[in-house]
Each structure stands twice: as structure tokens, then as C-alpha cells.
Amino acid sequence: MSQITNVLIAGIGGQGVMTAADIIAQAAIRCGHDVKKTEVAGMAQRGGVVTSHVRFGERVHSPSIMPGSADLLLAFEPAEALRWAGHLRNGATALVNTFAQTPPVVSLGLFEYPAAPLEEMARHPVSTYSLDAGEMAIQMGDRRLINSIMLGAIARHLPFDSGLLKQALLERFASKGSEMLSLNEQAFDAGRSMN
């Protein structure tokens, strides 16, 4: 079990969590790993919580990351980072997009959004890197670029060459035209330069 790398990707329906997980998985396959990837989506297309578990190594049996054993957390939203921080092992790494998205239950005053999610993250025994991928993506012209920015951010924390991840990303967008391809490459590089 010790050689297995466990990557937990968390966000909200529609943010591209599944696509990011797919791209990490493809890069891991390219390294010759056995890979399993879950899609715990439920009714997530409706603004709910989305997580995907990517596990890779010599031989992966269970597709599920055991709570407390994730090595990496790629969180597309700060409250989601907090929600899943408990799934990380001690000494793990979290990459957090600080761009918050409040759900209707918060707007309605039924629940409160955490006042300082990054400060709360600091209470967990993990290394947290944060970036405002949402704002960066809007500056680059398309909020959907959050995905590629976050992949850039996790690149150097994965146990393989970050070029492989970039290659998997570019292959994913190869059919979308040269403009989209170039934008996503820029987004990836911007994310990678953040930490």
C-alpha cells in the first residue's frame, strides 16, 4: 500500500473536477502506473459537492482513498478544501483555490461560510499552498481555465515530471482548437509558477 499515491480532487459540480482527475490519471498511466479513478458525483451536476479519487502505483485494488491517507488535495474551492482536509495524512500537501463559491443555503442565512478558511487549514498538519485561480482565470478571459491553473499548481507536487501532466492536459484540449490549447497552456504555466 505504501507505494500508492492518493490524490483527492474536490470542488463543486461544473468546476471541472472530473476533467482534472482524468488528466492526472492519464499522466500517471504514461509513467507506467496502474491507476484507478472514482467519480463520487451523485447529483453534483446540481451544484453539490464533487470529489474524485485518483490512486496510482504498482497495483491499485480499492478505488477509494481511505480517510486520513490522501497524499495530495487539489481543492477548487476554499470551503471544499476545509471539508476534505481531514482526508489528508499528516504531512500531506493541499493546493487551494481561494476563489469562494457560496451555495444558496449560505445566501439564505441557514449556514455560515467559514470566515477564514486558509487560517483554519493551517490547523491541519498539512502544507497548504493557496492561489486565487478564479481571479486568475477571469483575468485570462474564461473562468473555466481554473481547471488548468489548478493542474499547473499541483504539477510539482506529483511524483513524476510535471511535463507529463502538461502533455496530458494539452492532449485533452488538442481537439478544441489552437486558441483554447494556447490559453490552457498559459493557464497551466501560470498555475505552475505560483508555488
Partner 1 sequence: MTAAETVRDLQALFISGNEAVAMGARDAGCRVAAAYPGTPSTEILEYISTYPKVYSEWSINEKVSLEVAIGASLAGSRALCAMKHVGLNVASDALMTQTLIGAVGGLVIAVADDVGLSSSQNEQDSRHWGRFAHIPVLEPSDAQEAYSMTRFAFGLSERFAVPVLLRLTTRICHVKGLVRITADESIPAQGFNKDSSRYVMVPGNARNRIPQMMQRDIELARYSEDCELNRFESGSDQSIGFVTSGAAYCHVREAFPDAPVLKLGLSHPAPVETIRAFAEGVDRLIVAEEVDPLLETELKAAGIPLCGKEILPRIGELTPTVLLPAVASLTGESCELAPVRESDVFPRPPTLCVACPHLGIYYCLAHVKNTIISGDIGCYTLGAGHPWNALDTCISMGASLSVAQGIDKGRSEHDANKNVIAVIGDSTFLHMGMQGLLDITYNRGNVTILLLDNRAVGMTGGQNAPSSGLDIQGNSTIQVDFRKLCEALGVKSERIHEVNPYELPTLFKALRDEVKIAEPSVIITNQPCVLTERYSKQPALNVDADRCTGCGNCLDVGCPAILVERRETVVKPNGREKELAFVKIDSAACTGCNLCINTCGPDAIVPIQNFSRINAVEVNA
- Give the interface with partner 1 as residue ranges (CB under 8 A): 1, 12-13, 22, 25-26, 29-30, 32-49, 58-64, 66-69, 79-80, 82-87, 89, 102-114, 124, 138, 143
Query: Between 148 and 192, whose beta carbon lies closer to partner 1?
Result: 148
CB of 162 to partner 1, least distance (A): 20
CB of 46 to partner 1, least distance (A): 4
Three-state secondary-structure class, residue 88? strand
The Cα diameter of the chain in Å comes to 49
State the residue for C-alpha cell 476533467: 19
CB of 102 to partner 1, least distance (A): 6
Query: Between 59 and 178, whose beta carbon lies closer to partner 1?
Result: 59
β-strand partners of 49: 12
First-to-last alpha carbon distance for the chain, in angstroms, is: 29
CB of 153 to partner 1, least distance (A): 21
The CA distance from 134 to 6, in Å, is 25
Query: Between 160 and 195, whose beta carbon lies closer to partner 1?
Result: 160
State the residue for C-alpha cell 463543486: 12
CB of 52 to partner 1, least distance (A): 9
The DSSP secondary-structure symbol of 86 reads G
Residues in the chain: 195
Three-state secondary-structure class, residue 52? strand
One-character DSSP codes across 103-128? -HHHHTTSS---S-HHHHHTTSSSEE
Which strand (E) or helix (H) includes residue 22? helix 17-30
CB of 42 to partner 1, least distance (A): 4
Query: Between 93 and 192, whose beta carbon lies closer to partner 1?
Result: 93
Query: Between 62 and 193, whose beta carbon lies closer to partner 1?
Result: 62
Query: Between 141 and 193, whose beta carbon lies closer to partner 1?
Result: 141
